Each structure stands twice: as C-alpha cells, then as structure tokens.
Amino acid sequence: MKTRRYAALVSALTAVTLAAACSSGTNANSGSDGGGGTTLTLASVDQGSIEEVIKAFEAANPGVKVTFTTSGADQYQAQIRTQLSSGTAPDVMTVWPGNGNPGATYVLSKPGYLLDLSDQPWAAQLPDSFKQVAQYEGKTYNALFGLNGIGAVYNDDALKKSGLTAPKTWTELLTFCGDAAAKGTPAFALGIQDNWVTQLVLYALAATTVFGADKEFDAKLQSGQATFSDSQWTAAMGKYQDMQKAGCFQKNPLGTSYEASQTLAATGKTLGIVQGNWIIGLLKGKNPNGKFTMTALPATDDPATFLMPAAAGAGYGVNAKAKNKDLALKFITFIMSPEGMKLFNEKQGSLPTLSSAGTTVDPGLAELTTFVKDNRTVPFMDQLWPNAKVQQTMLSGLQEVFSNQATPADVLQQMDAEYKKGA
Amino acid sequence: MTADLQVRPPGRTASAPRTRRRRITPPWWFILPALLLFTFVVLVPSARGVYYAFTDWDGLDPDFAVIGLRNFTDMLDDGDALQAVWHTLLIAVAITVIQNGIGLLLALGVNSLIKTRNFLRVLLFAPAVITPIVTAYLWRNLLGPDGAVNSLLGAVGLDSWRQDWLGDPDLALWMIVLVVVWQFAGYSMVIFLAGLQSIPREIYEAAAIDGTGALRRFWSIVRPLLAPAITINLMLSIIGGIKLFDQVYALTGGGPGHATDTISTLIYKDAFTLGEFGYSIALAVVLTIIVAIVSAGQYSVLSRNEKAAS
C-alpha cells in the first residue's frame, strides 16, 4: 500500500509540473538577449555580402555588436512571418520591394509590422520607380540600396571562339541562335528546373514588347482596362517560344538546374545566358579567367525601343517594435550612406539606387548602367502584382509550356484570373 | 517505475510459461503523466492548428476572419489540389508495391546461405541510413540531362534511351518512386529478414520431406508466418508514401509545372510561398484524414489476415 500511495504522489506531481511548464511556455518571452543600447539584432538573406557590411558598421560604431542570422529566401520568409506575429522578430530585417511575395513591403507594412522611415533623408532622394516599391500608402518602409537588371550575358571568350557576334536586333537574334546551335554551342543556357528562372527570359522580352509599346501598361492592368491575355504579353510569350524553336537554348532545359546552367555558360558550352546581373559574379566564381558582358536582350528590330527590366533588390526594414530603434535607424542610415551602399553593391555585383554612391561597377555591366541612367528600364513585372499567386502561376505555367502541358494562352488566362482576385 | 512488471526476456518465453508471475493490474492513474504530456504536446497544439483551417489567416496578420468550410470547398475547385491528391495516392501505392516486392526478394536472397550474405545485407541497407534530402540531391545530379545515367546509356550505345528524366512530366513522378524505392527497399528487406529468420528451420525440413516445391513453400509457409512483417512494412511504406515531401521537393520541386506536386509539397508552397496559411492547414487536415483512413483500413485488413494465417 505504501508504495502505491508514493507512486500516486509522484505521478500527480509530474502531471502538475508538466501542466505548469506547458502553460507558462505559451507566453514565455526570452528577455535575455542583451536588449541594451549596444546590441542590434538583424535577419538577412544577403549571404556573402551582409557579413562585410556588418563588419564595417561595427568598425564605424565602436562598442556596437550586431547579432545576425542569414538564410535562403524561402526559409527566411517562413521564419520572419512567424517571428513578427509572435513578437520575436529582430530589429532590422530583409524586406522585398513592392508586393507579390510573403516578405514584401506591402505585405509586412499593411498589418503595421514595419517602422515608418519616411523622415530619413534618403527617402526623398530615391528615384520614383523605387519609391513606388519602397512605400506603402505614401510612407516609406524599405531602405532599398541596390538594383539589378536582366539581360543577355555573353561569355566573351566563347563568343570570340564561335566567330559570331552578339545580336543587335530580334531578327539577328534568331539567326544567331540558329548559327550557334549549328556549331554545337547553343546561344543561351537555360536552367528552368528551378522554376523562378523561367521568368527571366520572359521579363527581358516583355520589357520591350509590353512596356515599350505602352509605358502605362501596369496602371491599365490595375484599373482593369488591360489584361495579360489581351495585350503584348501574348507577343512576349510568343517570342519566348520562337527562341526555343530557333534553338536558342541547350537541350532539356527543364531537367537543367540553375546551378547547372551557370556551369554551361561559364565554361563556354553555351555562348551565354539570359539572367540577372548577379550571375556575373557567379560565373566568375566558376571560371575566374572568364569575361562576361551583359546587353539588353533584343525583342524588336529597332534597338532604340529596347528597355531592360531593372528593379530594386531586397532592402531592409525596421521592426515597428524594435528593441533598439536608435541603433536600427543608425544601421539603416549606414547602408544608405555612400560608403555603406558602395560596399554592399560591390559585394553583391549590383548597382546603387542613389546616384550619389560612387560604386565601381563591373565593366560587363556598362550597358545596364547606361539604360538605368537614360531611364530606359522597367521594374520587374511581379513587383506591382496584387498577390503572390500571379507570379507562381506564371512560373509553373511556363514549365508547363516547355513540357507541352499548357499553351501560353492558358497561362496568361490563369494569370488574369489570379490577378483579378486582388490582394 | 512500472516498466519491470510485464517484461520477459524474449528468448525464454517458450520454456517458462508456468513460472509466470501473478499479473499485477496497474491503477488507472498511472496513465496520467503520459496522457498529460500527449495532450499538451500533441493534442492541444494540433487542435489549435486545425482551428486555422477554418480561417483566412495569412500567417502574419493578426486580423483574420473565420470563414467556415470555405477552404475545404475551395479545394474541390482547385485543380492543383485534386491533381496533388492523385499524385500522392499514385506515388504511395507505387512505392508500397515496388518497395515491398523488391524488399521481399532481397530478403529471400540474403536469407539463403550464400557466402557474401552479411556483406550484402549491410550494402543493401546502407542507403536507408542516408538523409533523404541527400539521396534526392544525389539523384538529381545523376538524372540530369548530362548526368551519370544518361552518360552511361550513351556509353553502352543506348543513345535513344537517354531522357530528360526529371524534366519530362511523364517520367518525373516515376523517378521520384525510383529514388524512394532505391533508398528504402533495404529497409523493408531488414524487416522481412527478421521475420524470415524467426521461421523455424524444422518447418522447411518437414516440407522438404513432404516434397514441396519452392513456390509452394513460399506460399504455404513463408507468407503466413511472415504476416506480421508484411503488415508493418506495408503500413510504414504507405504512410511514408502519402506524406512524401523531402524527395519530391529536392528532385523536382513539384514540377515541371505541377506534374509531381504532392499534398505535402502543396501544403508547403501554399503556406510559405503564397502566404495562404488557412488553406494550407486545411490541406494538411485533409492529408491527416487520408493517412488515418488508409492506415486504419489497411491495419484492420492486414491484422485480420494475420489472425487467419496464424
């Protein structure tokens, strides 16, 4: 009997302790992360560049310590949402421009998670095309420091060896593709097993065909005066398919990963690749002696009409409930200063959003720089779409077009349907 | 505190049935600690999660509305979701049949007296200890357009057999099955092998004296006595197949298009790339129900067979 009673006591105690542990766990708040005036917490997706920026920031502000985490975009987006909704988010965090992805400016500022940065001196200096995607309802929330463009990136050595020259018009492009394929080195590497890559060629073509024809297309799309199906998007889709038929891409693009496509272009198995400017750094990583030049992808026969997709990359926002608001703002000021912006963009291979930053641009990006200066760029199309589903529909839809599971018209119709569902 | 009451060393059971100790019935409240732990660690969080299936929560905004069954009715109009359910069931059935078929053949093979059997057992089981995501990335490279599989086919003169294994929507699903079977056939083998080794040699000898053939021996001796191993193997592989995520995500990401999306990859995409948490949780609830129904059904059928066989 004695042992029974003892056992009952033990099990009851265990149960009570457990229940207590569980109930206190729900609103436990770790208040032990230093919180004081000298520690800044930060979460970022800029692996490989943010580390250097933090080092420089710490050196410029003796005694300050930045505690940071970096992760890939998918994982980051999942994590930051959980942290924001549970009040455990860091002081400064990566925020994407505009709308259309789960970590974008509109999405995070709408429920009030981001601090209004409108009174920062750089906020007024941002060029209009960036203000559009850094602001929500007229207030600035995103410190956009860098900008990226999409175009045809050629491997100069491979091009020279093939005896061909980079095409200047749409007609030349198709001939170029045919000639390159005949020589056994296709014109462009295409790695669309990773579905985000599918959009790049389309954006490069749509910049000129859609927005060259009508600069106000996005506004018309928003007001319901235009649709994807009944617009120049059909032409852009058609040209993407024409390129595929002309042999512009290597065989089996759907089985080729982003990684594998870089190897093809870097080692001269293709003459180039249609990608963002960030690819130049990656190609040089695989072929340190290589020279790579980016040009606009021809989409018509009149080079004067060419536009390039160019848009702000992910920037940084400040948590509205930051533990260390002053230091967070100091960090934002640093990355938007000529010194911080130069460092960040040189590490990333991107261009600065403010003309005052004296960044040394890779010589291969001269054409993109000129296009930006001449205001001949169009933001990445998805940045102003009302929800993430439009882009995802396009990405998987393009894979379906390449595997003959759908037609371009189907894809554009589905995109219209998702667009109409709104935010 | 209670663990020593009923435990008997497995080897001795047959020889010592009479010396069994007086059976002690533990009082009901002994279950309390485990029950509480289960309630607070599993039941309560799950129930709270299920609640969100009836909302339009985006994973972020504290302002969300309860929308009743709309997430579930939306699913019926969602071609991607219906397709994913079909892929999930197809993959699960294919994996279950092929993996257990191969696992059983391997077990019969290494249960024989061939000299290298111990080495073979280790070798065949080895893939099962690798993390699935690692094997999937490995195979993604092997199955690439310029990967080892195509190179090998080219080298032996079978150029026309070269395929875009993961880029072809008709093949990609089967490549996922292939990779999972490659990895886990050895796992099934080990369970079958344990079952085979518990069959007393005397029964085979008696059957041999009666002049039975190999097939008859398999059907009348091995199959019924292996029933518990078959049950556990089928359960594990069908549940694993229905929940399959890592391999699909790493090999194809659900593509090309949606050609290899399973319920699990869709749950992930809807939640984390589209921010539709409510809908995604509703999908997860459906997945849970499917797993529960399939495994309960399978268990009752198989255990009936087991009883009939024994």
State the pLDDT confidence band at A26, using cuts at 50, 70 and 90.
very low
Structure confidence by residue, pLDDT tens digits, B168-205? 999 999 999 999 999 999 999 999 999 999 888 888 88
Could you tell me if residue A369 is inside a domain? no
Mean pLDDT of chain B: 87
Asked if A102 and B59 come within 8 Å (Cβ–Cβ), the reply is yes
Judged against a pLDDT cut of 60, whether residue A216 lies above it is answered with: yes
Q: Name the residue in chain A with its Cα closest to that of B274.
A: A388
Between CA A136 and CA A143 the distance in angstroms is: 13
Asked if A403 and B167 come within 8 Å (Cβ–Cβ), the reply is yes
User: Residue B205 carries which side chain, given as an amino acid letter?
Assistant: E
Between CA B275 and CA A103 the distance in angstroms is: 9
Which one, of B128, B310, B293, B125, lies nearest residue B229 by Cα? B310
Tokens in use for B235?
């359960």
Show residues of chain B in contact with A400, CB under 8 Å: 169, 256-259
Which one, of B181, B199, B197, lies nearest residue B100 by Cα? B181
Which one, of B178, B195, B175, B199, lies nearest residue B102 by Cα? B178
Q: Is A292 on the interface with B (CB under 8 A)?
A: no
State the pLDDT confidence band at A91, using cuts at 50, 70 and 90.
very high
Structure confidence by residue, pLDDT tens digits, A149-204? 999 999 999 999 999 999 999 999 999 999 999 999 999 999 999 888 999 999 99
Q: Tell me: do A334 and A412 sit in the same domain.
A: no
Asked if A254 and B256 come within 8 Å (Cβ–Cβ), the reply is yes
From A253, A392, A405, residue closest to B273, measured CB to CB: A392
Residue A126: which domain range?
19-144+313-360
State the pLDDT confidence band at B23, using cuts at 50, 70 and 90.
confident
State the pLDDT confidence band at B33, using cuts at 50, 70 and 90.
very high
Between CA A39 and CA A36 the distance in angstroms is: 6
State the pLDDT confidence band at B20, using cuts at 50, 70 and 90.
low
Q: Is B38 on the interface with A (CB under 8 A)?
A: no
Q: Which residues pair with A249 in a beta bridge?
A: A188
Q: Name the residue in chain B with its Cα closest to that of A24.
A: B40
Cβ contacts from A onto B, under 8 A: 127
Q: How distant is the Cα of A106 from the closest Cα of chain B, in angstroms?
A: 12
Structure confidence by residue, pLDDT tens digits, B92-119? 999 999 999 999 999 998 888 778 888 8
State the pLDDT confidence band at A10, using cuts at 50, 70 and 90.
very low
For residues A99-116, average pLDDT? 88
Beta pairing class for A308-312 and A146-155: antiparallel
Least confident piece of the model among A94-103, B18-27, B297-306 = B18-27
Asked if B269 and A392 come within 8 Å (Cβ–Cβ), the reply is yes
Q: Is A397 on the interface with B (CB under 8 A)?
A: yes
**How much is the pLDDT for B221?**
87
Judged against a pLDDT cut of 70, whether residue A21 lies above it is answered with: no
CA distances to A420, A421, B52, B285 from B74, rounded to whole Å, are 17, 14, 15, 14
Contact present, B67 and B278 (Cβ < 8 Å): yes
Which tops the pLDDT comparison, A109 or A15? A109
Which one, of B95, B178, B102, lies nearest residue B143 by Cα? B178
Interface-testing mutation among A252, A398, A413, with chain B (most B C-beta atoms within 10 A): A252
**How much is the pLDDT for B188?**
95
Beta pairing class for A92-95 and A39-44: parallel
Between CA A347 and CA A362 the distance in angstroms is: 11
- What percentage of chain A has pLDDT greater than the value 90? 61
Interface-testing mutation among A26, A399, A402, A418, with chain B (most B C-beta atoms within 10 A): A399
Number of domains, chain A: 2
Between CA B294 and CA B238 the distance in angstroms is: 8
**How much is the pLDDT for B309?**
65
Angle at CA of residue B274, ends B272 and B275, nearest 5°: 65
Q: Tell me: do A139 and A184 sit in the same domain.
A: no
State the pLDDT confidence band at B299, using cuts at 50, 70 and 90.
confident
Angle at CA of residue A390, ends A384 and A394, nearest 5°: 115
- What percentage of chain B has pLDDT greater than the value 70? 92
Q: Tell me: do A221 and A295 sit in the same domain.
A: yes
| Residue A298: DSSP 8-state | P
Q: Tell me: do A231 and A318 sit in the same domain.
A: no
Torsion angle of alpha carbons B97, B98, B102, B103, nearest 10°? -60
DSSP string, A264-291: HHHTTSSSEEEEETTHHHHHHHH-TT--
**How much is the pLDDT for A20?**
40
* Ramachandran class of A186: left when φ > 0, alpha when ψ lies in -120 to 50, beta otherwise: beta
CA distances to B191, B226, B239, B296 from B231, rounded to whole Å, are 10, 9, 12, 12
State the pLDDT confidence band at A12, using cuts at 50, 70 and 90.
very low
Structure confidence by residue, pLDDT tens digits, B84-94? 999 999 999 99
CA distances to A30, A204, A386, A418 from A383, rounded to whole Å, are 36, 15, 9, 15
Structure confidence by residue, pLDDT tens digits, B151-162? 999 999 888 899
State the pLDDT confidence band at A54, using cuts at 50, 70 and 90.
very high
CA distances to A387, B55, B293 from B49, rounded to whole Å, are 24, 11, 20
State the pLDDT confidence band at B4, using cuts at 50, 70 and 90.
very low
**How much is the pLDDT for B215?**
87
**How much is the pLDDT for B41?**
93
Could you tell me if residue A108 is inside a domain? yes
Judged against a pLDDT cut of 80, whether residue B211 lies above it is answered with: yes
Q: Name the residue in chain A with its Cα closest to that of B26.
A: A4
Q: Tell me: do A292 and A404 sit in the same domain.
A: yes
Could you tell me if residue A10 is inside a domain? no
* Ramachandran class of A147: left when φ > 0, alpha when ψ lies in -120 to 50, beta otherwise: beta
| Residue B126: DSSP 8-state | G
Between CA A180 and CA B93 the distance in angstroms is: 46
Phi, psi angle pair for A29, to nearest 5°? -130, 120
Least confident piece of the model among A169-173, B146-150, B216-220 = B216-220
Show residues of chain B in contact with A253, CB under 8 Å: 167
Judged against a pLDDT cut of 80, whether residue A43 lies above it is answered with: yes
How is chain B split into domains, by residue range?
47-309
Asked if B32 and A11 come within 8 Å (Cβ–Cβ), the reply is yes
Q: Is B28 on the interface with A (CB under 8 A)?
A: no
**How much is the pLDDT for B141?**
92
Interface-testing mutation among A23, A75, A396, A413, with chain B (most B C-beta atoms within 10 A): A396
Show residues of chain A in contact with B4, CB under 8 Å: none
* Owner of token pair 């058609």: A238
Asked if A111 and B140 come within 8 Å (Cβ–Cβ), the reply is no
**How much is the pLDDT for B60?**
77
Q: Which residues pair with A92 in a beta bridge?
A: A42, A318
Tokens in use for A410?
């189907």
**How much is the pLDDT for A357?**
67
Q: Tell me: do A221 and A285 sit in the same domain.
A: yes
Phi, psi angle pair for B109, to nearest 5°? -65, -50
**How much is the pLDDT for A27?**
36
Which tops the pLDDT comparison, B4 or B212? B212
DSSP string, B20-56: PPPPPPPPGGGGHHHHHHHIIIIIHHHHHHHHHTTB-
Could you tell me if residue A5 is inside a domain? no
Beta pairing class for A139-140 and A39-44: unpaired
Q: Which residues pair with B70 in a beta bridge?
A: none
From A7, A253, A403, residue closest to B257, measured CB to CB: A403
**How much is the pLDDT for B236?**
92
Contact present, A295 and A364 (Cβ < 8 Å): no
Query: How many other CB atoms sit within 10 Å of the CB of residue B24?
Result: 8
Between CA A185 and CA A164 the distance in angstroms is: 11
Which one, of A249, A306, A258, lies nearest residue A278 by Cα? A258
For residues A78-85, average pLDDT? 85
Pick the CATH number of B47-309 from 3.30.160.340, 1.10.3720.10, 3.40.718.10, 3.40.630.10: 1.10.3720.10
Q: Is B33 on the interface with A (CB under 8 A)?
A: yes
Between CA B57 and CA B63 the distance in angstroms is: 8
Burial, A124: exposed, middle or buried (Cβ in 10 Å; 0-12, 13-18, 19+)?
exposed
Contact present, A181 and A247 (Cβ < 8 Å): yes
State the pLDDT confidence band at A9, using cuts at 50, 70 and 90.
very low
Contact present, B254 and B88 (Cβ < 8 Å): no
Could you tell me if residue A34 is inside a domain? yes
Q: How distant is the Cα of B220 from the closest Cα of chain A, in angstroms?
A: 47
Q: Tell me: do A181 and A138 sit in the same domain.
A: no
For residues A210-221, average pLDDT? 91
Structure confidence by residue, pLDDT tens digits, A382-413? 888 988 889 999 999 999 999 999 999 999 99
For chain A positions 187-226, those within 8 Å of chain B (CB to CB) are 193-195
For residues B225-235, average pLDDT? 91
Half-sphere exposure of A244 (CA within 13 A, CB side): 21
Asked if B167 and A389 come within 8 Å (Cβ–Cβ), the reply is no
Least confident piece of the model among A94-98, A235-239, A382-386, B12-16 = B12-16
pTM for the model:
0.81
Most confident of A196-210, A356-370, B193-207: A196-210
Tokens in use for A193?
């097993």
**How much is the pLDDT for A388?**
83
For residues A82-95, average pLDDT? 91
Q: Is the peptide bond before A127 cis (omega within 30 degrees of 0)?
A: no
- Decide if the complex's ipTM is over 0.95: no
For residues A266-291, average pLDDT? 92
Q: How distant is the Cα of A111 from the closest Cα of chain B, in angstroms?
A: 6
CATH number at residue A110: 3.40.190.10
Mean pLDDT of chain A: 87
For residues B122-130, average pLDDT? 92
